[in-house]
Amino acid sequence: MKRLMNSCEPRHKLQVKAIRRGIALSLTAITLLMLWRFYEPLIAALRWFSDLDAIVESIQRSGLWGPVILFLLIQVQLFVAFIPGHALVAASGYVYGAPLTIAIVSVSGVLGSQLAFLLARKYGRPLIYRLASKETIDKWDKIAGNRGPLFYFFMFVLPFVPSDMMCYVGGLGKISARRFFVANLIGRVWSATEVALIGSYGFHPPAVFWVLFALSLVALYVAWLIYDRSFPPTKHNQKD
């Protein structure tokens, strides 16, 4: 009986891996297909990313396809550093309001982040060093050490942190895809909510919003300092 169970277990693991690989390939294929389908409006939007008013105008001109283009652009900006993600989210909050923007940005951001994580996990440093700065990856790799999901949550919500690159760092480390997903989901929703609300107020939120926003940043920073001292990084990631 034990032999039968042991023989079935590897087969089950292979099936799970095959399913995960199929899902990843399907998501990649869908993303590439959508990028091809909306190539021209995406390029038109990219030309205006240096101007917040132009971003708003481009989204408004997109009509019913606006949310689809926003979904794709959020994913693309995870891999293309010059696209200002926060400006895009704020502009969307102004056009579509906070609830729809938060939903679109959160789903797209989580999917894109998990894809970046899985790419790093599967192909390692040779690929990642082509997609991002080697010095930046190595620097944050040492900061991350082998810390868990709470560390990556802080990386997604704290300002002045290359949160998109942290997806690669996570994939190069030892954190499981499931635990990274938890930090990814909560962090992306948190960040999307804050920025989308700024846009939904017409870029002029009331004073109470800024007070709460500032207090939340202070609380996050203090919590990060406590966490960093309580759980210092151990041996840094070694996945090739």
pLDDT at 59: 74
CB-neighbour burial class of residue 9 (10 A; exposed 0-12, middle 13-18, buried 19+): exposed
Domain range enclosing 123: 38-230
Indicate the number of domains in the chain.
1
Whether pLDDT at 239 is above 80: no
CB 173 within 8 A of CB 140: no
pLDDT at 57: 72
Whether pLDDT at 39 is above 70: no
- Label residue 162 by pLDDT band (50, 70, 90): confident
CB 53 within 8 A of CB 90: no
- Label residue 52 by pLDDT band (50, 70, 90): low
pLDDT at 32: 65
Domain membership flag for residue 84: yes
CA pair distance 90, 73, nearest whole angstrom:
13
pLDDT at 60: 73
CB 128 within 8 A of CB 92: no
CA pair distance 157, 152, nearest whole angstrom:
9
Domain membership flag for residue 105: yes
CA distance to 28, 100, 109, 189, per residue, from 114 (Å): 11, 21, 8, 14
Domain membership flag for residue 18: no
Model pLDDT for residues 101-135, shown as the tens digit of each residue: 999 999 999 999 999 999 999 999 998 998 888 99
Average pLDDT over residues 126-147: 90
Residue 65 DSSP class: G
Q: Amino acid letter at 197?
A: L
CA pair distance 226, 240, nearest whole angstrom:
31
Whether pLDDT at 179 is above 90: yes
Domain membership flag for residue 17: no
What percent of the chain is predicted at pLDDT more than 70?
Answer: 75
33 Cβ contact partners less than 8 Å away, ≥ 6 residues apart: none
pLDDT at 113: 93
Average pLDDT, the chain: 82
Domain membership flag for residue 126: yes
Domain membership flag for residue 42: yes
Whether pLDDT at 205 is above 70: yes
Domain membership flag for residue 2: no
CA pair distance 237, 240, nearest whole angstrom:
9
Chain mean position to CA 21: 20
Domain membership flag for residue 16: no
Model pLDDT for residues 2-38, shown as the tens digit of each residue: 454 555 556 666 666 677 677 767 766 776 666 666 6
Which 3 state secondary structure label does DSSP give 64?
helix
CB 110 within 8 A of CB 188: yes
**How many CA atoms within 13 Å lie on the side-chain side of 71?**
17
